Amino acid sequence: MKVLILEDNVAKSTAIEQAIQAVQPAIETHKVDCFSDFFKSTLKEKYDLIVVDLLVPRFADDDETQNVTNDIIETIRDVECVNFRTPVIAITQFLAAAEDNFENLNHKDIHIVTYNEKDDRWKETLQGKVKACIECQSYDFIIICALPKETNGFSQAGYSVGEFTNLHGMECRELKLNALNGLIITLPRMGLVNCAITTSRAIDIFKPKLVAMSGICAGVKGEVNIYDVVIPDSCQQHDFGKWGVNEFESESYTVQISHETKLIVKQLASDQQFNQKIIDTIKPKRSQIPECDDHFCFRILTAHSSSGSAVIADERIVALIREQHRKTKTFEMESYAVYEAARLSPISPIFFSAKAVVDNGDAHKGDEYHEVACVLAANVTCELIIRSLKKR
């Protein structure tokens, strides 16, 4: 979240900034002390909240403050301004300036608060506005993780992940990738139902351009290797159908990623520089490398994947899943829900899932490869997000 502060009084500006960051330390503040700098800032960058004083110098080299209320209104509420719909709160200790323009400020949806350094009521009002903006904030992307260890993979990979924040009942952490602002959302439980509900709500509330899932999965033995990162180009639910006299009869529905996303994945898979960078960065212990391998290695590939409501640790069930779709290479519990939620959304975000293989869905399931796989999936997910949103 980004907040612009127009205030020429250093002590007051600092108090405002501290009040804002007391709500959430990760909030980014940009402070200006004259109207001309404020004007430039509002034209070139989109803010989530704007805090202004009504009496400030017009230019940087001015010593005299002026009532710039009308200038602020004309700038911010110009339909051509990128901050036309941004919430604005005016915090002033000079009531005359606010009273003279109260009707106009109110009409333009600019909230007025009286500043008093001996009374914290202005601070409570400001922080309430900040919390409301956080809840209404939109993001460039959201990442869904089914397990805390999958979420931790992003910080272990070196990305700057924010502290846990409860947004609309969801466990969220902010993540910034270059100029892109996003959220990592950890599901309350694994599985299709929790994933479908959480993803749908997150899309409706945060209106992302892209929705991704990151984490770990199982792979079909002989088709994929441990640590291969698979992005399903198509995904189905393998336990959807009918239990009848002939036992379980599958009814398969498939969701596909876009052709453009598939091309981006293929480009990344063939980017030797990126792949080598990951290999050089991740240094697993010998116990975290499969016995059949001499060193840590991985591939990035697209393949058909399948999701279901239960963990699979039986080769017979894997065989049944493959009977439904002969090209199935991975299976897990959530990706289909992400794909379907994104497909049905009127927002139509880009979507994909990137999961690293950690077992073959048999009786030998273990967690020795999970830590490295989560870090690996996080790296691939972030790179795909950057490349997918580069032109948007």
Span between the terminal Cα atoms of the chain, in Å: 19
Same domain, yes or no, for 170 and 106?
Answer: no
Same domain, yes or no, for 128 and 156?
Answer: no
Structural domain for 39, as ranges:
2-136
Which positions of the chain have pLDDT values less than 50? none
Same domain, yes or no, for 350 and 290?
Answer: yes
Same domain, yes or no, for 56 and 163?
Answer: no
* Residue 250 confidence (pLDDT): 76
CA–CA distance, 329 with 88 (Å, rounded to integer)? 51
Same domain, yes or no, for 18 and 63?
Answer: yes
Question: Mind listing the pLDDT tens digit for each residue in 31-85?
Answer: 999 999 999 999 989 899 999 999 999 999 888 999 998 899 999 999 889 999 8
Same domain, yes or no, for 126 and 148?
Answer: no
* Residue 94 confidence (pLDDT): 67
* Residue 377 confidence (pLDDT): 97
- Residue 273 makes CB contacts below 8 A (sequence gap 6+) with none
DSSP 14-75: HHHHHHHHHH-TT-EEEEESSHHHHHHHHHH---SEEEE-SEE-SSTT--S-EE-HHHHHHH
Q: Which of these three, 136, 159, 178, is where a domain ends?
A: 136
Same domain, yes or no, for 131 and 198?
Answer: no
Q: Which of these three, 101, 136, 171, is where a domain ends?
A: 136
Same domain, yes or no, for 12 and 126?
Answer: yes
The token pair at 8 is 């020429």
Same domain, yes or no, for 88 and 176?
Answer: no
Q: Which of these three, 89, 116, 136, is where a domain ends?
A: 136
Could you give the number of structural domains in the chain? 2
Q: Tell me how crowded residue 311 is: count the other CB atoms within 10 A of its CB.
A: 13
Same domain, yes or no, for 241 and 110?
Answer: no
- CA of residue 318 relative to chain centroid, distance: 32
CATH code assigned at 82: 3.40.50.2300
